[in-house]
Chains A and B, each alone.
Chain A
Amino acid sequence: MTDQVPLLELRDISKSFGRVHSLRGVNFDIRAGEVLGLLGDNGAGKSTLIKILAGVHQPTGGELRWNGEPISLPSPRDAMAQGISVVYQDLGIIPLLSIYRNFFLGREESVAMKLPGMLILRKAQMREIARRSLAQLGIHLDDVDLTVAKLSGGERQSIAIARAVHFQSKLLILDEPTAALSLKETAKVLSYVREAKRQRVSVVLITHNIQHAFDVCDRFAVIFHGRVAEVAEKGDVSVQDLANLINTGTRHQTKMAV
């Protein structure tokens, strides 16, 4: 298992915005079919890291390797084509569009008739696929013409996850999927994560909530001030260790003098 080439390797990734260094040489890897918890305090650099993996930002230094091959992700479309899907906390979905339109947004080629200079959507097919894919995750929304604005936070997350699974993403990145959700909905979203893993999708789960991460993750990577504080197997750390790593960058409870 550990001998296998990782799905995605981050080698010495850094990113600066002018004189602000958000990431300073980040190294870790994501294995095929695992759930990796990416933890860190606000401002630690998690969001910047996600945006690099999503093709929104370009790293200022370092290298990404996909199945051992160096890759670059110049745009979100390139990341999608590679098999990376990102479900953003608040940017994952267009509230005014219907469920099935959101489901296929940015990936309409597969359900469109190609004319020169124009893609005509096969709407009946789109509705059918969206309905079926949602049902596979255990989400039953019969009326996929509903606008997403009418759905609860958990349902919105579930659409984004169902989309990633349907388009056979190899890597699903979830940014704070359980923030602002009720307890029941949180349980459902975490069950979707397990379901995605069962379908052999690697998942990176970004969260503040260590308990949620501990429930579903196989490994953890903790980011502290733009660097990786530690990468640990679930069996090697406790919830308290992770809390300390997030707060101080070490397993000790008190901050070391800097």
Chain B
Amino acid sequence: MAETKAGTTALNEAIASKRPPKTRFEKLMSRPESGVILAAVLVYVFFAVAAPNFFSDRVASNILLSSATLGIIAVGVATLMIAGQFDLSVGSVYGLSSGVVILCINAGVPGWLALPIVMVFGLAVGTINGYLVTKLQIHSLIITLGGLMFYRGVLLAVTQGFPIRLKDVDPFLKVLDFSWMGIPGPFFWFLALVLIFAFILGSTRFGGWLYATGGSPEAARCMGVAASRVQITAFAITSLLACIAGYVSVARFSSVDSLRGQGMELEVVLAVVIGGASLNGGYGSIIGAALGVLIIGMIQQGLILIGISVYWYQAGIGILLILAAIVNQRVRARHIS
């Protein structure tokens, strides 16, 4: 018995020696965000050198403002992608929720009350998406593509295709539309949500269950994870955040046109994937997604400053996505083997 014990220990040591302990640097490099942090620094340095006025307050403020709504939505989409699902309806839900807020306030609902109303709306939309996907086993791309058409259609029908705006200044919304040291108010919402969700994903049971469900739904279920409920909750969070983004944008712009948020569903996937998330689920990071959003914002503003036609923006972003995908593939391989 003692002999076999010694044998197993020797064997264990032999196996352990095949796997030398990692250095701090190697550990850092195998995190999902490592690629995007490097990319963010590179993009920043590039524009700092190439673009005049990149450091001006107005430019920085523009970048942060344009990142805020996209970023709030990206937090939800990243959470959902980690849980192994997609939502193509976020752009339409975002647009429609802005419309709902304006119609509510114009009908006499106070601004503070419009927030919970639109949040309940978001939770309902997401829960319906989640139920259809998990219970009926229909792919989320199909269900949410239907959602994309439907909610956009409703907004178009309600507004008759014309922009709608707030009739009067709402005192509550006015307070939300602040700037602090040149940082626009919406950015603080974005920042707060990033911190909250980074904590939830990294340090709570629900966060662990999201990764487990996305990684292998069947195995997670066998280990006692309520996989369907986790995914339904992730869908609900995604639509909820799209609606919060809609509310925040009304506070800023006081109006909505019927095409608000069109194309955002793909832009947000772009940001999340640049941020290191895997389309297969089970892998990704909220901080990474937030940096992905900032990179897109920097490129958008930077190209304008350099004086390159905005039309090249799309081409540039396309190349960036492909580069990011290649880099992230490497990072993931390091994480796994």
Contact = CB atoms under 8 A, between A and B. Distances in A.
Interface string B308-337: 000000000000000000000000000111
A258 interface: no
A77 B212 CA distance: 16
A95 B11 CA distance: 23
Question: Interface size bucket, A side?
Answer: 35 or more
Instruction: Classify the secondary structure of B's interface with A.
Output: helix
B12 interface: yes
Contacts of B209: 105
A245 B222 CA distance: 30
Interface stretch (B13-21, B47-55, B111-119, B296-304): B13-21
Q: Which of B205, B215, B216 has the most CB of A within 10 A?
A: B205
B336 A88 contact: no
Contacts of B222: 54, 56, 76, 86, 88, 91-92
A94 B224 contact: no
Contacts, number: 107
A123 interface: yes
A107 B225 CA distance: 9
26 contacts: A76-B221, A86-B222, A90-B219, A92-B223, A94-B219, A94-B220, A95-B216, A96-B336, A97-B211, A101-B208, A101-B212, A105-B223, A106-B223, A108-B205, A118-B204, A119-B205, A121-B203, A138-B8, A140-B13, A142-B21, A143-B21, A149-B336, A150-B336, A152-B15, A188-B11, A191-B8
Given A105-B223, A107-B224, A150-B336, 8 more contacts: A56-B221, A91-B222, A92-B219, A96-B216, A112-B205, A119-B204, A140-B16, A145-B27
Interface of B: 4-5, 8-9, 11-13, 15-16, 19, 21-22, 27, 200, 203-206, 208-209, 211-212, 215-216, 218-225, 282-283, 335-337
Closest 6 CB pairs of A and B: A106-B224, A119-B205, A96-B215, A91-B219, A106-B223, A149-B336
